[in-house]
Amino acid sequence: MTLYVNLAELLGSRIENGFYRPGDRLPSVRALSVEHGVSLSTVQQAYRVLEDNGLAAPKPKSGYFVSVSRKAPALPAVGRPVQRPVDISQWDQVLDLIRVAPLEAVTQLGRGMPDVTSPTLKPLMRALSQLSRHQDMPGLYYDNIYGVRRLREQIARLMLDSGCNLTANDLIITNGCHEALSASVRAICSPGDIVAVDSPSFFGAMQTLKGVGMKAMEIPTDPLTGISLEALELALEQWPIKVIQLTPNCNNPLGYVMPEARKRALLTLAQRFDVAIIEDDVYGDLAYNYPRPRTIKSFDEDGRVLLCSSFSKTLAPGLRIGWVAPGRYLEQVLHMKYIGTGSTAPQPQLAIADFIEGGHYEPHVRRMRTQYQRSRDQMIDWVMRYFPEGTRASRPQGGFMLWVELSEGFDTLRLNRALLGKGVQIAVGSIFSASGKYRNCMRMNFATKSSREIESAVRIVGETIALLNAQTD
Amino acid sequence: MTLYVNLAELLGSRIENGFYRPGDRLPSVRALSVEHGVSLSTVQQAYRVLEDNGLAAPKPKSGYFVSVSRKAPALPAVGRPVQRPVDISQWDQVLDLIRVAPLEAVTQLGRGMPDVTSPTLKPLMRALSQLSRHQDMPGLYYDNIYGVRRLREQIARLMLDSGCNLTANDLIITNGCHEALSASVRAICSPGDIVAVDSPSFFGAMQTLKGVGMKAMEIPTDPLTGISLEALELALEQWPIKVIQLTPNCNNPLGYVMPEARKRALLTLAQRFDVAIIEDDVYGDLAYNYPRPRTIKSFDEDGRVLLCSSFSKTLAPGLRIGWVAPGRYLEQVLHMKYIGTGSTAPQPQLAIADFIEGGHYEPHVRRMRTQYQRSRDQMIDWVMRYFPEGTRASRPQGGFMLWVELSEGFDTLRLNRALLGKGVQIAVGSIFSASGKYRNCMRMNFATKSSREIESAVRIVGETIALLNAQTD
Ligand SMILES: Cc1ncc(COP(=O)(O)O)c(C=O)c1O
Ligand SMILES: Cc1ncc(COP(=O)(O)O)c(C=O)c1O
């Protein structure tokens, strides 16, 4: 592990164990540098990690202090997935999640839905509506295979914030991030190939690997700093891994933002072993801290990073508009996109282009970031109030998902079944592992503004957990 | 070859060679039955084929007469593709076709665009526009993975006309027919498998096979009656073919409707060799004769036919809404659809459901059928007027594509390059063959109402052909 991550974890655990208390002044950068024999900049990096994770905050001219933030539950343990490539299972459980229709009379804490009721989305609906009123409506035609140029230009501009220097010609529009990931994998891999993934990992991306007959090598992942570079290096030495697939920014499901130095280190590893990286940045613009975190792609020099994203989390998933910047794999990805779906629907692309050009994107995303950060705090409070003592939870730095770890041996599949009759649905932990690990974990969505309905759903989940615990005792 | 097809071809060639002239009374059913030693119903079937192909027409109580239709060019020869499974090439040439943006200042005779300017489409645009004006707009949400139920119910109802008894639960909504085909192929086949295809064949479906690493076994195909069952049977005996993929109704590019008895015979073959059938019916509702032709699927008893279609040709391709009725492969196709793109955009689905429920679909399709039949005749006239003598052309029974065969040795790739500077684009013949055959052929779109622009484009193509011919002489 790099020095500063080590140091950040040490300080973090001291804070969490109450060695330093909320409001306490933390040791000075200089003092820590001497104490641990590391450079000043290493200490500063460590403090930045603590800051990102809401554990410490700087005060001008007086150093770092332990955040007086509300008490938070302990972090989930680092997962211990199977230490060899495995075939991906869990399709049945994923299907249970995605076969539910939207707006059914169920509080769907399990889905990856953003809040689409914000008034800042109104100009988008106006654009959609207006586009349908032309007689020679461009939304009715086959689009060219790359996607609407005006939109690609806007995406290239937005991605500047992530450190990427892209042009419209580097981008292919896709049917959501899902197709971006799928076309990327199919462009690089053949059946039987091994893909290294963060663990827990987004189930949709894993099912995509499964569908192409790939094996997943799950890499232990820290809930604050992301995929373990040490474990990844070992895996790369041991197995003929073809691609590393991960979500470094506002990870789904863990919510961390991988520190910049670790992103660079990961890229160096990929170069050394000559593997490609599929980087899922679908939540990148929803990081609570501004400016938004950089992508691994922004450090890429030889085109080995395939950056995948969409407007599903920032605007609305029903539009099904995503994109991929496939680097040196552009031609192959284009072919795979074509053979999967042909071209992409032009109308939502044109509407989104109008929306961004009209200056509506940034204010909307700013508003959602603030809302999500607030409802994260609310959701954590509710978990602490309604869930059994000892429950652990992630500390998301962006997006709208909370990862919850219950006591060992608890089975969230049973929980979900018990919740069925109670009008609440969660995402069970096992679908986030290729081999069905994390059965005592679950993911909950906190996108909607806190409301009685959501609070009551969380309370019902908590009570049902207690009930099941009582039954097994 | 079955008896009636044999007979139909014999009579057809007599008409084409001037043995019977326009307006002539044709031999009676009884006389032909005696002359050829076949049953009355065989003769009747033969006459029905001639009728479908516009060569003969019945007069009540007085028998069949040679149509006084305009003179038509000779039919293209039956293709002679490579007689073994081949890897699919031609991606570069397909890319040349699909990278062109719509509405560019080029007359795109090459694309598969229907006419989307008909006033009968207005209610669809109204529906699209209205759906965007709700605050709690359902089009913004993730749809359930099968697609909008209301739309699936309407599709099941429409498909009754093709003889299919489907329910909403038998259908999966996809991103166009393209995704329906792609998910079907990926559900059944593994890399290296062999797929039998009609030849010439829709290039998109063939590129899909290529993308999954499949080999194509091209089967000679008659321009009036479709894929040769004799050649197909031979191929099935010789090679471990996994699937037969074809477009029996209003074939792209040849325009024929496969006679019903041949559809049944094909299904029997598939049963005997236990292979699946991927049936592309995307133009089925656009057959000029009413009622529309039956699908092979409508005869299917053991779920081996995967019926693929979309609203791209009947309504508008930019909506990207298609469907698949995968029979016994439903679960596998669902998984493949999910791993390709996740769910499908709900807004266009809801708009199409509104359109059909409102009773707007049937009148629209009726109008388009008539328009396309009329512009087919116009296009054939222009080809006869502006193209070199000896040019052959298909006689489409539905849809809006004409297949044109030029003299042997002519190269339509060269033609397309020469047309580049002249603002016209055609689809070169070689992309309709896995191995790049049909270089002396091309496909032209006649969807738009005949206009000076189209006529002038066809004239330019004709003149350029003459020019190139003069250069090589
Ligand atoms: C990490 C991640 N990647 C990709 C996706 C899929 O995004 P889209 O809806 O744009 O296909 C999701 C959605 O749940 C996600 O969480
Ligand atoms: C025979 C055939 N099948 C499928 C398609 C693709 O249809 P869609 O645009 O619905 O994906 C086409 C379009 O050109 C076609 O001609």
Over 80: is that where the pLDDT of A49 sits? Answer: yes
Nearest 5°: CA angle at A327, between A351 and A319? 20
Q: Does A346 touch chain B (CB under 8 A)?
A: yes
Nearest CA to ligand 1 atom 4: A177
* A102 pLDDT tier (thresholds 50, 70, 90): low
Percentage above 70 pLDDT, chain A:
97
Better-predicted residue by pLDDT, B254 or A103: B254
Q: Looking at chain B, which residue has its C-alpha nearest residue A136?
A: B117
Cβ within 8 Å, pair A339-B149: no
Q: What is the pLDDT of residue B103?
A: 61
**Alpha-carbon gap, residue B41 to B125, rounded angstroms:** 47
Q: What is the pLDDT of residue A137?
A: 80
Percentage above 70 pLDDT, chain B:
97
Terminal Cα-to-Cα distance of chain A (whole angstroms): 40
Over 60: is that where the pLDDT of A197 sits? Answer: yes
HEC string for B385-406: HHCCCCCEECCCCECCEEEEEC
Over 90: is that where the pLDDT of A68 sits? Answer: no
Say if ligand 2 is within 6 A of residue B259 CB.
no
* B102 pLDDT tier (thresholds 50, 70, 90): low
Q: What is the pLDDT of residue A413?
A: 94
Cβ within 8 Å, pair B335-A98: no
Q: Looking at the complex, report in whole angstroms how far the Cα of residue A276 sits from the nearest Cα belonging to chain B.
A: 20
How many Cβ atoms sit within 10 Å of the Cβ of residue A387? 21
Is there a contact between B348 and B128 (Cβ–Cβ < 8 Å)?
yes
Lowest-confidence region among A137-146, A415-424, A452-461, B263-272: A137-146
3-state secondary structure of B408: coil
Nearest 5°: CA angle at B68, between B64 and B74? 100
Token couple for A243:
């691609």
Nearest 5°: CA angle at B242, between B238 and B247? 100
Domain map of chain A by residue range? 3-66, 91-117+363-471, 119-361
Cβ within 8 Å, pair A125-B141: no
* B70 pLDDT tier (thresholds 50, 70, 90): low
Q: Which positions in chain B touch A89 (Cβ < 8 Å)?
A: none
**Alpha-carbon gap, residue B29 to A235, rounded angstroms:** 77
- B96-104: average pLDDT: 73
Kindly give, in sequence order, each residue whose CB lies less than 8 Å from that of residue A381, ignoring residues fewer than 6 positions away. A70
**Alpha-carbon gap, residue A108 to A415, rounded angstroms:** 14
Q: Does A139 touch chain B (CB under 8 A)?
A: yes
* A1 pLDDT tier (thresholds 50, 70, 90): low
Cβ within 8 Å, pair A190-B191: yes
Over 90: is that where the pLDDT of A415 sits? Answer: yes
Q: Does A145 touch chain B (CB under 8 A)?
A: yes
- What is the complex's ipTM, to 2 decimals? 0.87
Could you report the per-residue pLDDT of A207-224, keeping only the tens digit for each?
Answer: 999 988 999 999 999 999
For residue B252, the ligand 2 atom closest to its alpha carbon is 1
Q: What is the pLDDT of residue B467?
A: 96
Q: Looking at chain B, which residue has its C-alpha nearest residue A344?
A: B320
Nearest ligand to the CA of A427 is: 1
User: Which parts of B48-94 are beta strand (E)?
Assistant: 56-59, 63-66, 86-87
Is there a contact between B461 and B402 (Cβ–Cβ < 8 Å)?
no
Provide the total of helices (H) and of strands (E) in chain B, helices listed first.
Answer: 15, 17
Question: What single-letter DSSP state applies at residue A295?
Answer: P
Could you report the per-residue pLDDT of A82-98, keeping only the tens digit for each?
Answer: 889 999 988 888 888 88
Average pLDDT value for chain B = 93
Name which of A102, A112, A125 is nearest B143 (Cβ-Cβ): A102
User: Residues with beta carbon inside 6 Å of ligand 1?
Assistant: A 112, 176-178, 202, 204, 247, 252, 280, 282, 310, 312, 317, 322; B 342
**Alpha-carbon gap, residue B410 to B408, rounded angstroms:** 6
Closest CA to A77 of A15, A13, A7: A13
Q: What is the pLDDT of residue B133?
A: 80
- B244-248: average pLDDT: 98
Q: What is the pLDDT of residue B420?
A: 85
- B192-203: average pLDDT: 96
CATH topology of domain B3-66: Arc Repressor Mutant, subunit A (1.10.10)
Could you report the per-residue pLDDT of B276-326, keeping only the tens digit for each?
Answer: 999 999 999 999 988 999 999 999 999 999 999 999 999 999 999 999 999
Is there a contact between A289 and A397 (Cβ–Cβ < 8 Å)?
yes
Q: Which residue has the tokens 């031999």?
A: B27
Q: Looking at chain B, which residue has its C-alpha nearest residue A339?
A: B208
Nearest 5°: CA angle at B50, between B44 and B51? 85
* B17 pLDDT tier (thresholds 50, 70, 90): low
Over 60: is that where the pLDDT of B251 sits? Answer: yes
CATH topology of domain B119-361: Aspartate Aminotransferase; domain 2 (3.40.640)
Question: What single-letter DSSP state applies at residue A126?
Answer: H
CA of B154 to the centre of ligand 1 (A): 30
Q: Does A149 touch chain B (CB under 8 A)?
A: yes
The CATH superfamily of A91-117+363-471 is Aspartate Aminotransferase, domain 1 (3.90.1150.10)
Q: What is the pLDDT of residue A135?
A: 61
* B108 pLDDT tier (thresholds 50, 70, 90): confident
- A220-243: average pLDDT: 97
Over 80: is that where the pLDDT of B19 sits? Answer: no
Average pLDDT value for chain A = 92
